[in-house]
């Protein structure tokens, strides 16, 4: 096998409710971006919870890089293996500068009075590189709380990138963004996978954004009622009768529809 992520028969239950129902999913090692879509309650976020150790499945297997059993690891150990997650709501330190947020995220926690003094030249170079990549280098000395919503999202992505993830899980990264911010975020996704060995797996409800990413050759997985309903190119899943039924009943999929 040559897989980055192998999910087999995953079942997650909450008080008898099956949030994931025998879910099977494979992300090949050569994939750079995998898009995960589906109606609310489809189990997308629960899948991320299971992958990062926040919930324990009833049964199933999750193998990372062919041999690492993620279900046997703690949240901290999973993150140390390179599986790193961003939640929908930005989680930054608003009273610290953008640069300080980056240093704290890199794992070099220290007193704020010595943050700049003790950060090595290598730290500075790497942080500057990542901030430049997300378009925030000129804001390095500004308080994170003063940034726009979109900029806070980019800062948190930068805070994760500086940790050198192998698999980056993003939950609705463009939620609440302006159209211009969404355009920039789409370009950022491509920049990340072009300039690193990182693979991105993202949950998104904004189908205009999903189409923009998917049209560049990335695969789409559609979830419904806790399992994978359809998978493939954006054109394939949009024409899948099961997907149309799940989203719109007997209606047709349109440009503005969920899929």
- Residue by residue, DSSP assigns 65-119 as TTTEEGGGS-HHHHHHTTEEEE-SS----TTSBHHHHHHHHTT----GGGHHHHS
**pLDDT, average across residues 44-66:** 97
pLDDT digits (tens, 9 = 90+) for 95-115: 999 999 998 887 644 434 444
Query: Is it the case that residue 256 has pLDDT exceeding 80?
Result: no
**Do 132 and 81 sit in the same domain of this protein?**
no
**Do 51 and 178 sit in the same domain of this protein?**
yes
CATH number of domain containing 16: 3.40.50.300
Cα separation, 106 vs 113, in Å, equals 17
- Asked if residue 162 belongs to a domain, the reply is yes
- Asked if residue 22 belongs to a domain, the reply is yes
- Residue 10 CB burial class (10 angstroms; 0-12, 13-18, ≥19): buried
Cα separation, 216 vs 228, in Å, equals 22
**Do 120 and 223 sit in the same domain of this protein?**
no
Instruction: Note down the domain range covering 61.
Output: 3-92+147-248
Percentage of residues in the chain having pLDDT higher than 90: 79
Instruction: Round the average pLDDT of the chain to a whole number and report it.
Output: 89
- Asked if residue 82 belongs to a domain, the reply is yes
- Asked if residue 72 belongs to a domain, the reply is yes
The answer to whether 81 touches 28, Cβ cutoff 8 Å, is no
Identify the three-state secondary structure at position 33. Answer: strand
**pLDDT, average across residues 77-90:** 89
**pLDDT, average across residues 145-163:** 94
Output the CA–CA distances (angstroms, integers) from residue 83 to 12, 59, 185, in the order listed.
20, 21, 21
Residue 119: the pLDDT is 54
**Do 58 and 116 sit in the same domain of this protein?**
no
**pLDDT, average across residues 86-101:** 89
Residue 250: the pLDDT is 42
**Do 72 and 184 sit in the same domain of this protein?**
yes
- Assign 188 a pLDDT band (cuts: 50, 70, 90): very high
Residue 126: the pLDDT is 87
Cα separation, 20 vs 230, in Å, equals 15
Residue 258: the pLDDT is 46
- Asked if residue 253 belongs to a domain, the reply is no
pLDDT digits (tens, 9 = 90+) for 106-145: 764 443 444 444 555 557 888 999 999 999 999 999 999 9
Cα separation, 69 vs 73, in Å, equals 7
**pLDDT, average across residues 198-216:** 96
**pLDDT, average across residues 141-168:** 95
**Do 114 and 167 sit in the same domain of this protein?**
no
**pLDDT, average across residues 183-195:** 95
Residue 106: the pLDDT is 76
């Amino acid at each position: 096998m040559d897989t980055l992520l192998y999910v087999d028969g995953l079942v997650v239950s909450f008080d008898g409710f099956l949030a994931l129902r025998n879910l099977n999913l494979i992300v090949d090692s050569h994939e750079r971006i995998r898009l995960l879509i589906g109606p609310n309650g489809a189990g997308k976020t629960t899948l991320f919870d299971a992958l990062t150790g926040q919930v324990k499945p009833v049964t199933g297997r999750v193998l990372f890089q062919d041999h690492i059993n993620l279900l046997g690891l703690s949240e901290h150990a999973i993150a140390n293996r390179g599986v790193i997650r961003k939640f929908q709501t930005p989680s930054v330190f608003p009273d610290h500068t953008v640069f300080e947020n980056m240093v704290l995220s890199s794992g070099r926690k220290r007193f704020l009075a010595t943050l700049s003094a003790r950060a090595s030249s290598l730290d500075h170079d790497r942080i500057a590189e990542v901030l430049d990549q997300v378009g925030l280098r000129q804001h390095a000395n500004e308080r994170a709380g003063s940034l726009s919503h979109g900029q806070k999202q980019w800062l948190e992505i930068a805070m994760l990138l500086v940790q050198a993830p192998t698999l980056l899980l993003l939950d609705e990264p463009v939620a609440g963004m302006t159209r211009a911010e969404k355009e920039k975020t789409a370009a950022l996704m491509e920049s990340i996978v072009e300039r690193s060995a990182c693979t991105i797996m993202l949950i998104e409800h904004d189908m205009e954004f999903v189409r923009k990413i998917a049209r560049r050759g990335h695969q789409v997985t559609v979830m419904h009622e806790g399992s994978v309903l359809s998978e493939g190119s954006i054109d394939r899943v949009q024409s899948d009768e099961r997907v149309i039924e799940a989203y719109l009943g007997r209606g047709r999929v349109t440009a503005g529809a969920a899929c």
